[in-house]
Amino acid sequence: NVARFSRSIVLAIDRLHFEYKYEKVFLKLDAKGAGGWSCVSPHENRLLYDWTQNVDVRVAYLIDYIEKNVLEDDLPTHAVVEEFIEAQTRPGDIDADYTVCGFVLDSIFYPTSINLCGTDTRSQYIEQWTAAEASQMGDTPTDWQHMFKIYARMVAIEAEPFSYRNGIYAGDIFVTVKNEYKQRDWNIRRGGRSAPESLIMLGESNYETKVNISIQQELTCEELFDLYTN
């Protein structure tokens, strides 16, 4: 199964290059997972993404990668191979990868914050920055206004067909080296940064806290869930 899974991924990488002319692509091993562990960094795994190299060699590399990094008993049901987004760089060598947060009231989007999301060399999120002024994050007010307008348009579109007119609204957006705005991973659930920010804005108490727990042994997803909920 691992061999078939790996070969399918390598062939998908090559297809995006040769058939669809993408110069750079990105692999996420688990399509439905939010964890950064499934992001396979092109910077640290150059052989896998190099279509000039032998396919079998690259498949063997991915098999070894999966055996070392996928800790569950079963493989993910779906992987994703997609266009690699080259983002602009912000102060501190952080990619222009933003989370836009706010809430919706009577089909109108009210923004609460914009946050920069930093990643390590493995493309896994390790930090998040926010500020009161755009200039404090190396942005301009126009940059933030444009992102807020994008979300206001999304809210207006979703209000009619989906009847989502009140609630939390947040998502992620890239600003590319070509100055394009690439929206992805939006959500309308109560979670992430947007929930406590909105509660504070509305005068509600914020019950969020941070706890660091040192775990000596590796845990399955089910065991982690039990740990969090207990």
CATH number for the domain that contains residue 107: 3.30.470.20
> Is pLDDT at 83 greater than 80 in this prediction?
yes
Tell me the pairing of strands 94-95 and 97-105.
unpaired
Does 47 lie in the same domain as 151? no
Of 40 and 195, the structure prediction assigns the larger pLDDT to: 40
Of 48, 83, 118, the one marking the end of a domain is 83
pLDDT at 54: 97
| Range with top average pLDDT, 71-75, 76-80, 129-133, 166-170 | 76-80
Please provide the average confidence, as pLDDT, over all residues in the chain.
85
Based on the fold, state whether residues 144 and 123 are members of the same structural domain: yes
pLDDT, position 49: 97
pLDDT in tens, 109-156: 999 889 898 887 777 778 888 888 999 888 999 999 999 999 999 999
Express each pLDDT in 1-56 by its tens digit: 999 999 999 999 999 999 999 999 999 999 876 557 788 999 899 999 999 999 99
Distance, C-alpha 123 to centroid of its chain? 9
Q: What is the pLDDT of residue 226?
A: 76
Could you list the residue range(s) of the whole structural domain that residue 61 is in? 2-83
Tokens of 64: 């070894």
C-beta neighbour count of 217 within 10 angstroms: 5
Residues 58, 145, single domain; the answer is no
Number of domains in the chain: 2
- Per the domain annotation, does 144 fall within a domain? yes
Does residue 103 belong to any structural domain of this protein? yes
| 194 and 108 belong to one structural domain | yes
Both 93 and 189 in a single domain?
Answer: yes
For the cut 60, the answer to whether the pLDDT of residue 191 exceeds it is no
pTM for the whole thing? 0.72
Say how far apart CA 194 and CA 178 lie, in whole Å: 28
**In this structure, is residue 120 part of a structural domain?**
yes
For residue 207, the SS3 value is coil
Confidence of residue 171 (pLDDT cuts 50, 70, 90): confident
**DSSP assignments along 135-175, one per residue:** GGGT--HHHHHHHHHHHHHHHHHHHHHH---SEEEEEEEEE
What is d(CA 167, CA 83) in angstroms, rounded to the nearest whole number? 31
The verdict on 177 and 145 lying in the same domain is yes
- Provide the pLDDT confidence category of residue 203 given band limits of 50, 70 and 90: low
> Does 49 reside within a domain?
yes
